[in-house]
């Protein structure tokens, strides 16, 4: 009878928290649906749920003991959530939601469960949209970097293009605009969760895990550098409009991401061969 009452209380608490954080989840979903390089946010809760379900046998063996420290952390998460709602900061609302999930596990199941579910809960942070104040300078810097390096590569290929900021002026006078999607930010943000997932489940060495996650940066930049160079070459052959506005350009973006995924797998294989676990 006591356990049934306790289970009812737990379900009631979780239901109230789900209701309270519904505006945050809706706000994050709107960002995922409107920003291309954040659309992976829809998949993150599913992957985190799978990761938790994968360890269900181990969790069943752990003792479930309530920990009052979780209540303190839950109240703190709700206060942060209130600040996020008042300021209209979706990133703060999302971070508060993840903190509330961790606090609820600690409160209802104890520290052993929280430790066991540390990776799935931490993985939920990838669904939180980064603040625009952080992303915009990064996008501008990456876009300029990719454009500058692409000019160097094209000059090495004897293609005399000129650079005007993030615009490449072709020999015939036409221009190719290096957009945000070609800056590498899309690959960087979407490949990072995949790299973390791969590092956690495939690699056993901390050093290899860190190197695999760090490899996302050169992979993302290299893939989009290749995309810009190929786009310019295609523009010289079929025209700027067909090279940048047709389905060919969309396919090139998809191929860039797939190439990045294959590169991650290749880096993981190379690391296991070069630095095998002891």
Lowest mean pLDDT among 10-14, 24-28, 29-33, 112-116: 10-14
**Rounded to whole angstroms, what are the CA distances from 52 to 44, 98, 127, 251?**
12, 14, 16, 34
> Alpha-carbon distance 60 to 104, whole Å?
17
Are residues 124 and 204 located together in one domain of the fold? no
What local confidence, expressed as pLDDT, does residue 2 receive?
43
> Alpha-carbon distance 265 to 271, whole Å?
10
**46-68: per-residue pLDDT in tens?**
999 999 999 988 988 988 888 88
Count how many domains the chain has: 2
Domain-terminating residue out of 68, 102, 128: 128
Q: Taking residues 174-192, report their average pLDDT.
A: 81
Q: Taking residues 114-118, report their average pLDDT.
A: 95
Closest CA to 193 of 117, 102, 128, 106: 128
With H, G, I as helix, E, B as strand and everything else as coil, classify residue 162. Answer: strand
Are residues 82 and 170 located together in one domain of the fold? no
Residue owning tokens 């293009």? 161
**Which tokens in the block code for residue 21?**
């954080």
Are residues 100 and 154 located together in one domain of the fold? no
What local confidence, expressed as pLDDT, does residue 156 receive?
92
Are residues 118 and 185 located together in one domain of the fold? no
Are residues 266 and 252 located together in one domain of the fold? yes
Own/partner contacts of 95-100, CB < 8 Å, gap of 24 or more, are: 95/125, 95/128, 96/21, 96/24, 97/21, 97/24, 97/25, 97/124, 97/128, 98/124, 98/125, 98/128, 99/73, 100/17, 100/21, 100/74
Are residues 144 and 122 located together in one domain of the fold? no
Are residues 103 and 159 located together in one domain of the fold? no
Domain-terminating residue out of 128, 146, 170: 128
Q: Where are the alpha helices (DSSP H) in 110-202?
A: 111-116, 118-123, 132-156, 185-202
> Alpha-carbon distance 252 to 234, whole Å?
11
**234-247: per-residue pLDDT in tens?**
888 777 777 777 66
Mean pLDDT, the chain, integer:
87
Are residues 29 and 147 located together in one domain of the fold? no
**Rounded to whole angstroms, what are the CA distances from 248 to 85, 205, 254?**
42, 40, 10
Are residues 121 and 196 located together in one domain of the fold? no
Domain-terminating residue out of 105, 128, 151: 128
Own/partner contacts of 137-140, CB < 8 Å, gap of 24 or more, are: 138/185, 139/180, 139/183, 139/185
Q: Which domain holds residue 89?
A: 2-128
Residue 165: how many CB atoms within 10 A of its CB?
12
Are residues 241 and 207 located together in one domain of the fold? yes
> Alpha-carbon distance 243 to 141, whole Å?
24
Under 8 Å between Cβ of 186 and 37: yes
Are residues 102 and 199 located together in one domain of the fold? no
Under 8 Å between Cβ of 187 and 223: yes
Counting Cα atoms < 13 Å in the Cβ hemisphere of 45 gives 12
Are residues 143 and 261 located together in one domain of the fold? yes
> Alpha-carbon distance 259 to 223, whole Å?
7
Ramachandran assignment for 273, one of left (phi > 0), alpha (psi -120 to 50 degrees), beta (any other): alpha
What local confidence, expressed as pLDDT, does residue 1 receive?
45
**204-215: per-residue pLDDT in tens?**
888 889 999 999
């Amino acid at each position: 009878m006591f356990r049934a009452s306790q289970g009812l209380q737990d379900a009631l608490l979780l239901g109230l928290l789900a209701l309270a954080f519904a505006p945050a989840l809706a706000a994050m979903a709107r960002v995922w649906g409107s920003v291309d390089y954040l659309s992976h946010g829809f998949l993150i809760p599913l992957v985190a749920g799978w990761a938790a379900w994968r360890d269900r046998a181990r969790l069943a063996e752990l003792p479930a003991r309530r920990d009052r420290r979780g209540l303190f952390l839950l109240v703190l998460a709700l206060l942060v959530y209130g600040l996020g709602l008042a300021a209209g900061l979706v990133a703060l609302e999302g971070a508060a939601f993840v903190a509330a999930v961790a606090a609820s596990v600690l409160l209802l199941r104890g520290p052993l469960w929280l430790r066991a579910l540390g990776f799935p809960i931490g993985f939920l942070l990838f669904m939180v949209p980064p603040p625009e104040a952080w992303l915009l300078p990064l996008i501008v810097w990456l876009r300029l970097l990719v454009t500058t390096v692409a000019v160097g590569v094209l000059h090495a290929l004897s293609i005399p293009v000129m650079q005007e900021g993030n615009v490449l002026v072709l020999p015939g006078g036409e221009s190719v605009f290096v957009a945000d999607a070609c800056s590498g930010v899309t690959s960087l943000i979407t490949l990072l969760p995949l790299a973390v997932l791969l590092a956690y489940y495939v690699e056993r060495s901390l050093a290899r895990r860190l190197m695999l996650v760090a490899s996302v940066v050169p992979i993302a930049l290299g893939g989009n550098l290749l995309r810009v160079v190929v786009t310019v070459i295609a523009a010289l052959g079929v025209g700027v409009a067909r090279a940048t506005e047709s389905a060919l350009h969309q396919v090139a973006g998809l191929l860039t991401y797939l190439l990045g995924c294959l590169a991650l797998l290749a880096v993981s294989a190379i690391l296991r061969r070069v630095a095998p676990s002891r």
